[in-house]
Structure 1
């Protein structure tokens, strides 16, 4: 089960720069609030709630596998074709991103009724526990991503990206490593806007849950889960547009600089993910 979820997250995060900060990553980075069953990581569920969650989990995973997974396989085919034919362009990446956004929205929309029902059933102690978990999350991310001096943030961001790329492409050459550092420099103080927007969203989520018996609660949660971008801060909206453009440019340039061995490794890795998806029992029985 966990391996499946991991692969789903991978597919939706892979479009730009192999997991760079992008729409898919931003959506699936917060699985705790997008997929309701993982809220159990944030609060203690009673026996009845756990049983209910397990049943809903089975239903959602069955829906996801039978209705969404075939589209993921097609999406991976298009990604492979782009790489194999040396057609990794800004326009092509925009197209793959739009397709992934649609997949995310469909999944978020599908699980929203479960999220609403789950949240409406929480007691005050559970809500307080969730809010404290949000506060802890905020402190942890501030400490890791915002508190260090900007030059350190840029350096660490570049190192994280190099590590990801090494896994999927193999060791980067000197020019590729320089390109990654240029990408990290171009993002500048992006961490500050990202964390501020995350806090902004969590505050709105908490405020909505505090009024979970109100008539407008279902619509409010649907907006928070399905139309998250409509709630972004103006500063983050601007920062994110830059982040997305920089990620596309990075991937285009890295592919242009890539060796045949690197492209072959990348294609093989994607093929492995496709095989894992294809081997799922729900697809074989469909």
Structure 2
């Protein structure tokens, strides 16, 4: 995960809202503060500033964003009821999710950019240490592992995700996942290279002289990390995106009635959860 996503972190609440409990959503303020402070060593005044901002953000998220997530799930449920999920439809859902991320970033990013720029030298060293720890985690994904081992890990991970939504997989579905695992582009090394390039630019901004443009530069880096991608990285992402969308479509088309019923039930559960969270008192 890039540092921009870990610093902003509010995108993770999208996962909480769609995949967790009402209780977890109610505790999101506390969770987010702790996650952000894993990277930013804030003083008391900065902690108070962050706490107040997250309270306001949480209310905005409940009132403005949860209904949009519910609408997205409604569209998904409608597509499932039509008994056909195409790669193009999956692409539309991904674009809607990306738009939600952009809204979260636009709302939360300015304060986090401000807090990041306000870090003194000691605080910045703490931040850099946490960043490097994440880099080490990524290195572990491919160091001392053969290509076959990495593809096998990808296959197992995809099967696990598919079982969570569909239940027991049939032989045809397992075969599709196997084919996918043999063809997707391995990209951990490229991801690390891109991450390090991004981090170099990030450090340049933090270590440089402050100007009226500093916050905008940092926000641009947060909001548009893909602008920094090399052509190799862009091609990798595009190829894997096509393969993944096709796989998801194939898995649904190969589902029996029991699996499709389970999937619709799972989506309905999240629809109900979002409706309840939108009404609960924070």
Fold-level similarity (TM above 0.5): yes
Contact 2:166–2:259 (8 Å) recurs in 1: yes
Question: Where do residues 1-286 of structure 1 align in structure 2 (5 Å cutoff)?
Answer: 30-35=5-10, 38-211=35-208, 213-280=210-277, 282-283=278-279
Separation (CA, whole Å) in 2 of partners of 1:248 and 1:271: 22
Deviations 1:23-74 (A, max 9, x none): xxx7899344444973311243222222221111111111111111111100
Compute the RMSD of aligned alpha carbons. Answer: 2.3
Aligned residues: 260
Unaligned runs of 5+ in 1: 1-25
Ranges of 4+ aligned residues in structure 1 off by more than 6 Å: 26-29
Give the distance between the partners of 2:107 and 2:48, measured in 1 at CA: 20
Q: Deviation at 1:255? A: 0.6
The normalised TM-score by structure 2 is: 0.85
Relative to structure 1, the CA distance from residue 174 to residue 167 in structure 2 (aligned partners, 3 Å threshold; closer, same or farther) is same
Q: Which moved more, 1:139-148 or 1:156-165?
A: 139-148
| Counterpart position of 1:7 | none
Q: State TM-score, norm by structure 1.
A: 0.83
The C-alpha deviation readout for 1:178-210, integer Å capped at 9, x for no partner, is 211211221132222223222322332222222
